[in-house]
């Protein structure tokens, strides 16, 4: 979080979300981190968006995963009512993993793997922006294909220009 604190001070942006992508394979060094962090910053927190419907994943059970008893409920996000079973898929939750339920007949999770960093970035682009918006990033060249494939524009983040905007 030291990087996030530094980025906030240097740019004047507001940290709104933090996505952790686990890397379970050998990273190549004794002290190398086992995860990567994706930090969501916004200039104006009133314009923050997080469109979970864009990244829904397949349901575990067909029909109603809540046994038919709770068709609607309250969302913790923006005080809204939500359907407990969405035909478009289930909410991926706060932990983004690839779940394999094909190895046994009982629909239990048989194997769990981390999602690739490229998929995590693609999901972040989808949930945090709308079609045609500009995504500002420190590593524009590294993720430009991911951003543009989802109908957004990638631009390099200029912290000094943001700092002048905030202080000006």
pLDDT recorded at residue 168: 59
Q: Enumerate residue ranges in the chain where pLDDT < 70.
A: 24-33, 60-85, 94, 107, 161-168
Quick: pLDDT tens for 44-61. Answer: 888 888 888 888 887 766
Q: What is the largest CA-CA distance in the chain?
A: 63
pLDDT recorded at residue 70: 53
Domains (range + CATH), the chain: 2-57+92-167 (3.40.50.150), 60-90 (no CATH)
CB contact at 8 A, 56 and 92: yes
- pTM of the entire predicted model: 0.71
């Amino acid at each position: 979080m030291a990087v996030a604190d530094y980025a906030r001070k240097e740019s004047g942006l507001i940290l709104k979300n933090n996505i952790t992508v686990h890397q379970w394979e050998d990273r190549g060094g004794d002290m190398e981190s086992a995860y990567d962090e994706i930090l969501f910053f916004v200039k104006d927190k009133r314009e923050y968006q997080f469109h979970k419907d864009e990244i829904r994943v397949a349901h575990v059970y067909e029909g109603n995963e809540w046994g038919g008893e709770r068709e609607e409920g309250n969302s913790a996000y923006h005080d809204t009512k939500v359907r407990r079973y969405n035909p478009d898929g289930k909410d991926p939750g706060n932990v983004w993993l690839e779940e394999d339920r094909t190895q046994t007949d009982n629909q239990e999770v048989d194997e769990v793997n981390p999602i690739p960093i490229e998929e995590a970035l693609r999901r972040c682009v989808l949930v945090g922006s709308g079609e045609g918006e500009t995504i500002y990033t420190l590593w524009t060249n590294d993720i430009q294909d991911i951003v543009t494939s989802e109908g957004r524009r990638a631009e390099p983040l200029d912290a000094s220009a943001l700092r002048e905007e905030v202080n000006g």
